[in-house]
Structure 1
Amino acid sequence: MSATLTDRYIAATLRGVPAEAHDDVRNELTGSIADAVEARIEQGESPDEAERAALNELGDPAVLAAGLADRRLQLIGPRHYLTWLRLLRLLLAIVPASVAVLVALGYAISGADVGDIIAESIVSGITAGLHVCVWTTLAFAVMDRLGAAGSPRWNVDRLPENRSTGRGLADLIAVAILMPVAAFAFVWDRYFGFIFLHGEAYPIWNPALWPWWMAAVFVLFAMAIVVQAVVFVRGRWTTRIAIVNTALQVMGASWFLTLLGRGELFNPEMLEVLMVESGVTSETLRVLAVVFGFFGVCAIAAGGIIDCWLKTARDARTA
């Protein structure tokens, strides 16, 4: 004889219940289902329809078994969830980007192609992010199952301080001062130089960059001041302003990295004198250039982009 729906339901429920509780659960479920079926038959339903409706009302036997066994159907409970989420966000903001930069730097120093550098850094960053998610979640799941204590009880002393959204006058003043100072430094370097060897001054930047390459830099400086002025006038960051600022950061970084990759950024006469005077090899100079590009230009551009989008998000929330 084939098993009835009730028999199959009880058997499925018992799979998730400890063996010592099987008899009690079987007897309780059998009685409850029988009462529910009988009540529905009295209301005019057929026995088959009544049985099916009663079992549907009880729901998934795995969920019922978990409730009977006092077993949580969750990977991480509320006691640890917020701590897990905050830590995961922090690690994802730091680890993948750091790994990608270090891998790219290693491949660049080894002389790999640009395509290989980009591909390997992206793959490494994604892999690092996956590892962060898996191992962080696994650690908290184990803590939750072992019953480890959660975070301390919350109180008002843990409220974060209100942070400036960056729409004040300070940012405009800072940019309005720094950009002209940087432009003046480029002009001074062109005509007077910053490197002095044997009584002779050498420009750091390649004189061949004048006038057009340097004109592009000065245009970017001016546009950066305009962006901060618009933010100050509007009183907040907007998505459009953030996009323009991101484009400026990318163009500025591209300017440096393009010339750096082509070997046209620094003054060749200065490099030659440094190599002769200090014994520095061309390979060492190449490594220093790579370090300068990744940790200087890219870090500054990335910082500017992240900062403007964070301010945009905060201003959108407070608008």
Structure 2
Amino acid sequence: MEMIGRYVYAVTKRLPEAQRKDVADELSGLIEDMLEERVQGREITEEDVEGVLLELGHPRTLARKYRGSKKYVIGPELYDLYMLVLKIGLISAVSVFTIIFMIQVILNPMNILDYFVNFIVSFVTIIPTVIGWTTLGFALVEYFGAGKLEHIHLDKGWKPSSLAAVPDPKRQIKRSEPIAGIMFYVLIMVILAFSNDYFGIWIFQDGEFSGIVPFLNEESYGLFLLLILIVFGFGIVKECLKFMYEKWTFSLVGFTAIVNLISIALILFMITSVQFWNPYFMNELVQHGFVNGGSDDFETVRIIWEQSTFWILIFLMFGLVWDIVAGFMKVRKAK
């Protein structure tokens, strides 16, 4: 029966990957034996199934028994996701720093020793940061989400009819989607936090690198960095929730909408501020010989530069709104 499958799924999804198949087979057999003993040869009804599942108890409680003692900083229910997010974060950070180091060496090989020292120092700084914040975040989820609140709310008044259905393929979120999302957010965060000075127009003269005209105002950039990290941090939280929900629901769509609206507001505040962009951008292009002042090329670049804020905002808003609409459509299609 469907209710049995939902119960087995609700129990096994809280166990380490290696245990799930064996526990699913064992639990299915146990439920079948309990039903046979209960009905004594008559036809099995929904009431019989519900009675057996009530005897077994809340899926969280039963999963805890299969896991054994629950003295964890990060329990098995979250451990697989924790390790995955941690690996993604570390791989993304290491990849970005390695690429930046290679670009620096190619552009200016004479300073390779200085770049290598900065490369090592960056690792010493970012790796403990990624591990620490990821561990802290999941430890808080474990303590507040899977610990005290579980005993206060979830086990009381539980009924098998309240079990969530096994995820519908139409609503299910592919694991590759949040993985790609987390990698994207981590990459952008690392680049903007540690290598924002490379974010601009690269100038080459006579085939040699001569400098960068930055898009952003380096003098006031530090004031906006916290907001940038908050925006992309919200994005990482959103992708982690996709892992935990495993399917599109109205709750997930609602949270996505809230996060994206907050992100749009913060982005709008930043990119419309005159302090965010480099106020000397056009003058520096002229100084580096990229364009000649007063020429047609100068006017074309100036128009593009002045309209860039508008189009960046349009593209970002479209992407964030589409994220909400796509999730809502997937929920509706499965109805």
Normalising by structure 1, we get a TM-score of: 0.41
Greater Rg, structure 1 or structure 2?
1
Structure number with higher relative contact order (C-alpha < 8 Å, ≥ 6 residues apart): 2
